[in-house]
Structure 1
Amino acid sequence: MLTTRELFADDALHDPYPLFDRLRSEASVHVVEDQHLYVVVGYDAVREVLADPGTFSSNLVAVLNGDSGATAEVQVADTGGVDVLATSDPPEHTAHRSLVQSRFSRRAVQEWEQFVDELLEPRIRKLIDEGGGDWMSAVASSVPVRMIGKIMGLPDGDSEQLAAWSDEAIAVVSGVASPERVGEALTSVIDFARYLGEHLDAAIEHPTGGLLDTIALAVADGTLTRDQGTMFLVQLVTAGAESTTSLLGTAARLVAADPSVQTRLRADPDHIAALVEEAVRLESPFRGHFRTTTRPVTLCGVSIEKGARVMLLWGASNRDDTVFDHPSEIDLDRPQPRVHHSFGRGIHFCIGAHLARLEACRAIALLLSHTTEITLAAPEPHYVPSLVVRRLAQLDLVLTSSHPNPSPSRETSTQGARSTGRNR
C-alpha cells in the first residue's frame, strides 16, 4: 500500500523514478488511504482518465500536503478560488480556451522566434564568455517569464517580480511547504492577483497589444468575471514560466551529461527537437495534476467513489515500458516522440506547449552553436523540493567557447539573477 511518507520521502522528491518504477510494476492505480487519494501511474490508466473529463473533473479542490500529512483546501481570497482554463471543465473550459488558443498556435508561436533569440542569445553568450556558470539563473529562469510577459503585454521591467510571484503560487501547491509558509505564499499570490487585476482594468482604456487586451475584453463583455480574468492571467504567467524553465534546465542537463548526444546534435541539429521531446518526457515539468471524480467509477479494476481525489503522475506514465522502449534513456529516434503525457492530452493539452518547445529548441541550438564543449560542473544536480513541479534549482555548466575572441556580453543585467527564492 502506498503511503504519504513514501511520496514525500527526501529520496523520492529528489529522484522519484525508482518509486514510480516500483509502483508501476505492482499496479496502475494505488490508494493512499489516509489521504482519500488515488495515485495513477500506468500509461493506459492515465490515458483513460484524460479521455473522460466528465467523470474526472479538473476543478481544483485540494492539494496534498506532506508537511501536515493532510489534504489542504487551496483558496485565493482575492480571486474567490475560481476555476479557469487548466482547472475548469466543459462547457466553461471550451469558452476559456477559445479566448487564447490562437495566440499560442504553432503558427503564432513561430512568429516569436526572433524575439526568443533576442532574449536567449545575450544571456547564453555572457555565460559562455565567463566559461560557464549556473544555467538556471542566467538563462532558464530569466527568459520564459519575460517571454510570457511580452505576449501578455506586461511591462518588461516587472519580470523579476512576476517570477517571484510565480514561485509563490507554485509554493502554495508544492505539497512540502509548512502551513505557515503556505500562508505567506498565499499573501504574495493575492498581491500577484491584485497587480494583474490592475493591468486588466487598465487594458480596457489603454490596450497593450498583448493577450491582456483579449482577457480584458472578455471581462468587459461578460464572458469572464473580473475574478476569472485575473486568475486566468495568474495561470498563464505561472504555468508558462514554470514549465518552460524546467524544460530549459532538463534539456541543457541532458546535453551536458552525455557527450554522444552532444556530438550527434552538433553534427545534425535537426535532432534538437527530438532531444527537447525526450527532455520533456524524461522529466515532466509538472510531476502530475489532480482530478476529482464526479461519480463512482472503476479504473483498472480499482473502485473509486464519487468525490475522490485522483493524482495523475505524468512522470511515472512517461516511463512505462509497455509503451516506451528503454524508457529511462534518451532516444533521438523514437518513432512516436510526442505520445508522452508531460503536456497533458485531450481538452487540457498544455496551451503553451508550442512556445515551450520553441524556447527550448532555440536555447539548445544557440548553446551548441557558440560552444565546442559543454560539461557539468557538478555530477549531481539539485532539484527544487516539490510534489508538483520537477525543476532544477541550479545547473552549473562548464562551457568552452567556439569563438577565439569572445565578444563582450550585450547584456549584463542577469548577473546573479534571482539568486534567492526560486534560483531556477
Structure 2
Amino acid sequence: MDRLEPGHHYDPLAHEDFDTPHRVFAELRAKCPVAHSDAFGGFWIATRHADIKRILDDPAEFTTTVRNVVPGASATGRRPPLHLDPPEHTPYRRAIDRALGARRLAAIEPVIETHVARLLDDFIAAGGGDFVEGFGSPLPALLFSDWFRLSDTQTTLLWRTAQAFVKAWEAFDIETVSRTSETLYDLARDLIADRSAAPLDPEVDPVSSLLAAVDVRGDPLPHEMLVGCVRQILVVGLVAPPVFLGSVAVHLSRHPDLAAQLRAEPERIEDAVEEFLRLYTPYRGFARTSRNGVELGGRRIEPGEPIALAYASANRDEAVFDAPDEFRLDRANVRDHLAFGRGPHRCAGMAMARMEFRIALRELLARTSNIELAGDVRMSGMPEVGPVYVPLRVEAA
C-alpha cells in the first residue's frame, strides 16, 4: 500500500489524485478500519459505515465539545451548534431549522435558478475554465448572500475570505486561519447588530431567528455564542458545495454516456444527485472524541483522542452498498449514505443543498452538449476530500 505506513497508519498529507483517496479508504476498510495518523497532533480515522454510524448515533459518549474536526484550529472561538452537544446545542439548531423551512426554500428556489443560469452562461460562453472557481465556489456564496440578505460588498467579502480561510485551514496555517476567521467574526457581528436594530422575519432570516431564540430557561442566547453560530453558518455552506460540484463535473467528463442519459431523462436528476452525494461525499474530517474511552475497529481509543469520521469512506463501504465504486441510478438503498451526517448534528442545510445541487446539475446538462477535462485536477486537503481545481472544456447545447 503506497500511502499507508507500517502499522496501517493514515497519511492525510500525501499527494492525492482524483481516485487515490477512495483506493486508500478501501484498503483501510479491509485491513485497518480504524487507523491512526501522527499528522495534525495525532488522530484516529474511522472508515467503516457501521463504526461511523455508531459514533453519530451516540452523542452522549462521542462528544463534539473537544474536537469536532481534523485538522482543528484552537485559535477560533466556540461556534454552536457544531461545538455543543444536546441539549445545549438545541436552541441554536431549532433557530437555524426555522429559517430553512418550506416557505423559505420555496422562495429561494428561483433565486438559485437565476444564479445558476448566470454563472453557467458566463462559464460556457468562455468555453470553460476552472469549474470550481468559475461556478462551484461563487454559487453557494451568492445563495448565502440571499439567505442572509447581504450587501454586494458583504457577499464579495464572505466569498473571498471563506476561500482564503479554507485554504489556510487545509495548509494548517494557523496565522492565516486566525486572521481570516476574525474577518468572518466581524461580518457576523455586523449582521447581528443590523438585525438587532431592525429584525427581519425569523421564519426566513437566520440571524433574526437566532436573535429571537431562547435557551431552556427562557433567556436570550449569549451574544458571543450567537456571533460564533452566525460565523459557523457563513462558512460551512461555502466549503463543501465547490468540492462536491467539482467531483460531479469530473465524473460527467469521464462518463459522457451518463451525461447523455440524464439530458434525455431529466426526471432522473434527483436520483443522480443522491448517488453523486454517496459517491463523492466531500468530507473525511468531521470528528468526535470519546468521553470514557472505547474499543473501535480493534483499537483502544482513549478519552479525548480525536476520531475523524471518513464519511467519504463510509459511503463506499461494500458491507452496505453493492459495487460501491459504481454509479447506479437505481440504487435501492442510496439514502443510507451519510453525506449529510446523522443524528443531532446532521446538516441543517441539507434540503437547501439538495435543491442547489439538483438545479446545478439540471442546468449544466441542459446548457452543454459536451463536458471534457482540460488538464489535471488539484485535490483538497483534509478535512474535505475532492477537487478544488477542475479545468474543463465545454460546448454549448
Q: TM-score, normalised on structure 2?
A: 0.89
For residues 356-412 of structure 1, what are the alpha-carbon distances to aligned partners after superposition, in whole Å with 9 as ceiling and x for unaligned?
11111111111222222222223x32223x11012422222222222xxxxxxxxxx
Residue in structure 1 matched with residue 384 of structure 2 by the alignment: 389
State yes or no: 1:9 paired with 2:5. Answer: no
Residue in structure 2 matched with residue 377 of structure 1 by the alignment: 374
Residue in structure 1 matched with residue 81 of structure 2 by the alignment: 85
Distance (Å, rounded) in 1 between the aligned partners of 2:365 and 2:233: 30
2:73–2:177 Cα contact (<8 Å) kept: no
Secondary structure at the counterpart of residue 91 of structure 1: coil
Q: CA deviation at 1:23?
A: 0.8
Of 90, 99, 103, the match for 2:99: 103
Q: How does 1:319-330 map to 2 (within 5 A)?
A: 319-330=316-327
Residue in structure 1 matched with residue 4 of structure 2 by the alignment: none
Of 188, 203, 207, the match for 1:212: 207
Distance (Å, rounded) in 1 between the aligned partners of 2:195 and 2:64: 29
Distance (Å, rounded) in 2 between the aligned partners of 1:33 and 1:142: 35
Stretch moving more, 300-309 or 96-105: 300-309
Q: CA deviation at 1:123?
A: 1.4
Residue in structure 2 matched with residue 48 of structure 1 by the alignment: 54
Q: 1:285 to 1:222 in 2, by over 3 A?
A: farther
Q: How does 1:334-413 map to 2 (within 5 A)?
A: 334-378=331-375, 380-384=376-380, 386-402=381-397
Letter in 1 for 2:389: Q
Distance (Å, rounded) in 2 between the aligned partners of 1:368 and 1:14: 24
Residue in structure 2 matched with residue 407 of structure 1 by the alignment: none
Q: 1:37 to 1:390 in 2, by over 3 A?
A: closer
Tell me, which stretches of 5 or more residues in structure 2 are unaligned?
1-6
Distance (Å, rounded) in 2 between the aligned partners of 1:306 and 1:92: 21
Q: 1:391 to 1:156 in 2, by over 3 A?
A: farther
Q: 1:106 to 1:265 in 2, by over 3 A?
A: farther
Residue in structure 1 matched with residue 194 of structure 2 by the alignment: 202
Q: 1:200 to 1:392 in 2, by over 3 A?
A: same
Stretch moving more, 220-229 or 323-332: 220-229
Identity %, equivalent residues:
24
Q: CA deviation at 1:91?
A: 0.5
Residue in structure 2 matched with residue 74 of structure 1 by the alignment: 74
Q: 1:14 to 1:169 in 2, by over 3 A?
A: farther
Distance (Å, rounded) in 2 between the aligned partners of 1:98 and 1:219: 10
Q: CA deviation at 1:236?
A: 0.8
The count of residues paired between Structure 1 and Structure 2 equals: 385
Letter in 1 for 2:55: V
Q: CA deviation at 1:335?
A: 0.5
State yes or no: 1:131 paired with 2:127. Answer: yes
1:60–1:83 Cα contact (<8 Å) kept: no
1:136–1:394 Cα contact (<8 Å) kept: yes
Q: 1:170 to 1:88 in 2, by over 3 A?
A: farther
Q: CA deviation at 1:241?
A: 1.2
Distance (Å, rounded) in 1 between the aligned partners of 2:19 and 2:366: 32
Tell me, which stretches of 5 or more residues in structure 1 are unaligned?
66-71, 403-424
Distance (Å, rounded) in 2 between the aligned partners of 1:45 and 1:38: 12
For residues 126-172 of structure 1, what are the alpha-carbon distances to aligned partners after superposition, in whole Å with 9 as ceiling and x for unaligned?
22223222222221111101111211222233222101222344345
Letter in 2 for 1:43: H
Secondary structure at the counterpart of residue 334 of structure 2: coil
Secondary structure at the counterpart of residue 322 of structure 1: coil
Q: 1:33 to 1:359 in 2, by over 3 A?
A: closer
Residue in structure 1 matched with residue 35 of structure 2 by the alignment: 30
Residue in structure 2 matched with residue 413 of structure 1 by the alignment: none
Distance (Å, rounded) in 2 between the aligned partners of 1:93 and 1:219: 12
Q: CA RMSD in A?
A: 2.4
Q: 1:315 to 1:302 in 2, by over 3 A?
A: same
Q: 1:141 to 1:211 in 2, by over 3 A?
A: same
State yes or no: 1:292 paired with 2:289. Answer: yes
Secondary structure at the counterpart of residue 75 of structure 2: coil
Distance (Å, rounded) in 2 between the aligned partners of 1:152 and 1:84: 18
Q: 1:313 to 1:265 in 2, by over 3 A?
A: same
Distance (Å, rounded) in 2 between the aligned partners of 1:187 and 1:112: 32
Q: CA deviation at 1:103?
A: 2.3
Distance (Å, rounded) in 2 between the aligned partners of 1:327 and 1:27: 18
Letter in 1 for 2:74: V
1:55–1:294 Cα contact (<8 Å) kept: yes
For residues 71-94 of structure 1, what are the alpha-carbon distances to aligned partners after superposition, in whole Å with 9 as ceiling and x for unaligned?
x65132xxxx22411221011122
Letter in 1 for 2:57: A
Stretch moving more, 159-168 or 334-343: 159-168
Q: TM-score, normalised on structure 1?
A: 0.84
For residues 29-77 of structure 1, what are the alpha-carbon distances to aligned partners after superposition, in whole Å with 9 as ceiling and x for unaligned?
2244785532211111111111101100012448655xxxxxx65132x
